[in-house]
Amino acid sequence: MGLCDERPIWSMSGSEMLSTLDAVHAQIAHLQTYRLQLLAALDANGHAADVGARDTIQLIALCHRLDPTEVRRDLRLATALPKYSDVEAALHQTSPGATDPANIAAPTAPPAATAPGAATAALAATDPAPTPAADASLTPKAVTPGSAVARHLVLHPGQAEAIVTALERIPTTAMVPVADLQVAERAMVRAAQLLSPAELRKLGKRVRDTLDTDGPEPAEVRAMTAETLWLKRGDYGVEFGGYLAGEHAELLQTLIFAGAKPHLAPDGTRDPRSRGKRQADALTTILTAAASTGTAAPAHGDIKPHITVTIDLNDLTAGTGVGTLASGATLSTATIRRLACDAGIIPLVLGSASEPLDVGTEHRFVTRAIRQALNTRDRGCIICQAPPAMCEAHHLIHWADGGPTNLTNLALLCKAHHIDVHQGHWTITTHHGHPHPNRPTWASPDKPP
């Protein structure tokens, strides 16, 4: 590759590096486009079956050690491209600087076949705040096949994939006129000179909603049907992922974002947790709240979901060893002692001969009446004032150490501070029937660090 034979990178100025990057991106786009053509031709050729592969996706994924999902996406784009002449033409324009505004010709008069219709209105409604000059250049009718404008429009494969995917998702049952589809395609190709793939996907959704005269309901039904959740065992936990649609997605995002806001540490520094960790903490808080109210499994009536953990009595009292869950996973004794305060966990305590000495029941845990009184008294986490719905009831004297489950032996703590208390970072004392947190020694201004 000629670019690799250029002078060493370290000897280039910033402007030279940027210019070289322009050329590199142009060549990458050219090679990616050529790859799409090869994929489509190889699939049509049927060569995968000749060599014993199940299909082209499996052949390419195995040969090049790629994710089948990635190959499937690229093949879908490659086979759909011939239907979209403007996208295909712009995809082949790979000369550096082709997207420079100076290289884009002025608008030309549209032919009769591209008279403004629903697609034009949709683009006008979804124009990403262009300047007056840009607004004129983005008019769909200005882009006609073979015109100077079309010859200078450039797409990279990511943009092409966003446009084609958006147009392919317009249902055939919508009976959208071909002329409107062509206007929409040309409009999105033109808009791509200013938009990223993510922005094009948003634009495409709005165009689809306008063109589909039946409205978005069928698409919403399909999206709801496609909802999924998968779980698999991971190291010390579970890995999961999935997809939620519509109001379910909005509900999840609202709850997670609300619970994932950063909090100041006790010493006044910024929250040390990453965004991912804060969102994970928010999810576990939501799950804990659902389990504690008995709403996580409505089919079971008032019976709350429980976790059963088996642990040796000596380990439990000494705070050493681990407990075993029904799934075979293990939890540390410290975690079990914390969860046993308020979470739906039933400890099955074993004696020296591994015989069951005691099976904890819900009576060990906070009743609804006690919890309501606790919410009224503490009004949230006694350390950070997180609302009661985000809190757990903490035993000041652990029940395994003989502590009773009553109001005078309980305090509300958010999950993060509940963990901190069990790790000894905070201590709690009671004054006149009310729990009060004591700042960690390292955070007290009158104590040496």
83-139 pLDDT tens trace? 898 898 888 775 444 434 344 333 333 333 334 444 445 454 444 444 333 333 333
Residue 133: the pLDDT is 37
- For the chain, the three-class secondary structure string (H helix, E strand, C coil) is CHHHHCCCHHHCCHHHHHHHHHHHHHHHHHHHHHHHHHHHHHHHHCHHHHCCCCCHHHHHHHHHCCCHHHHHHHHHHHHHHHHCHHHHHHHCCCCCCCCCHHHCCCCCCCCHHHCCCHHHHHHHHCCCCCCHHHHHHCCHHHCCCCCHHHHHCCCCHHHHHHHHHHHHCCCHHHCCCHHHHHHHHHHHHHHCCCCCHHHHHHHHHHHHHHHCCCCCHHHHHHHHHCCEEEEEEECCEEEEEEECCHHHHHHHHHHHHHHCCCCCCCCCCCCCCCHHHHHHHHHHHHHHHHHHHCCCCHHHCCCCCCEEEEEEHHHHHHCCCEEEECCCCEEEHHHHHHHHHHCCEEEEEECCCCCEEEECCHHHCCCHHHHHHHHHHHCCCCCCCCCHHHEEEEECCCHHHCCCCCHHHEEEEEHHHHHHHHCCCCEEEEECCEEEEECCHHHCCCCCC
Residues in contact with 31: Cβ distance below 8 Å, sequence separation at least 6, in sequence order: none
Sort 36 into a burial class: Cβ within 10 Å, 0-12 / 13-18 / 19+. Answer: buried
pLDDT per residue rounded down to tens, the chain (449 residues): 566 666 788 888 888 888 888 888 888 888 888 999 899 999 998 888 888 888 899 889 888 898 888 899 899 999 998 889 889 888 877 544 443 434 433 333 333 333 444 444 545 444 444 433 333 333 333 334 444 344 467 888 889 999 999 888 877 666 778 888 888 899 999 999 889 999 999 898 888 877 876 555 556 667 778 899 998 888 878 899 999 887 788 788 888 888 888 877 666 678 888 989 999 988 988 887 777 665 554 333 344 445 667 777 666 666 666 777 655 667 776 777 666 665 555 555 555 554 444 444 444 567 777 777 788 788 889 988 888 877 888 888 877 677 787 888 889 998 888 888 888 888 899 888 789 998 766 555 554 44
Percentage of the chain exceeding pLDDT 90:
10
pTM, entire model: 0.42
**Rounded to 5 degrees, what angle do the CA atoms 230, 236, 414 make?**
90
- Say which amino acid occupies 263: H
Instruction: Return d(Cα 409, Cα 420) in angstroms, integer.
Output: 18
Q: What is the pLDDT of residue 98?
A: 41
pLDDT of residue 242: 93
pLDDT in the model for residue 50:
85
